[in-house]
Amino acid sequence: MVRTYQETVRERPLLRLVQDLSQRIAIYRNILEEAKRQDGSVGTEPTMERSPTAAEVLKTKYENLGLVPPATLPNPLMREVADFALRKLRRFGTLLLDLMATQAEAISAELKVSPEVTVTFQVELDWAPSLTVGIERLGRREMSQPNSNRG
């Protein structure tokens, strides 16, 4: 994946990869949240009459917005959608962790910060993985000059 981005993205490919992973995480976190909000009532499971299930509505919504490719999300059961989103979040979290473990120095170089600036990365792996980037400017200490006017 890193090589693909380095070959196809001209400017700051690793930062772009981090941004794309973060977007994917946000999309699947939202899908999971919507699946969790379903209360198991009308429209959540298939019925004999052919009205769309809640899973089908969710799937269509994200596909029509272009946030997931067609035929990516399962249906007709919301439980399957939630399981799918959890698996995706786990996979993206692992990718983010691997990326930071192997490419943190290269990503820092892409930021082109001055030597007085420290860049830190923190990956949190919970049910919705996240990356925090810290940028801190190191303060300069003024060196006191010995007093040459000592009487």
Residues 108, 119: contact at Cβ < 8 Å?
A: yes
Amino acid 147: pLDDT: 54
Residue 147 lies in a domain: no
Residue 92 lies in a domain: yes
Residue 118 lies in a domain: yes
Radius of gyration of the chain (CA): 24
Residue 64 lies in a domain: no
Domain of residue 107: give its range: 2-41+76-137
Domains held by the chain: number: 1
Return the beta strands (E) in the chain as ranges: 117-124, 130-137
Residue 6 lies in a domain: yes
Per-residue confidence in pLDDT tens, the chain, 151 aa: 888 888 899 999 999 999 999 999 999 999 999 998 875 544 445 544 556 788 899 999 999 999 999 999 987 788 999 999 999 999 999 999 999 999 999 999 898 888 888 888 999 988 889 898 898 887 655 544 555 554 4
Residue 148 lies in a domain: no
In DSSP terms, 123 is beta-bridged to 131
C-alpha 46: how far from chain center:
32
Residue 57 lies in a domain: no
**Dist CA 149 CA 25 (whole Å):** 64
pTM: 0.77
Q: How far apart are the first and last CA of the chain?
A: 70
Amino acid 44: pLDDT: 47
Residue 20 lies in a domain: yes
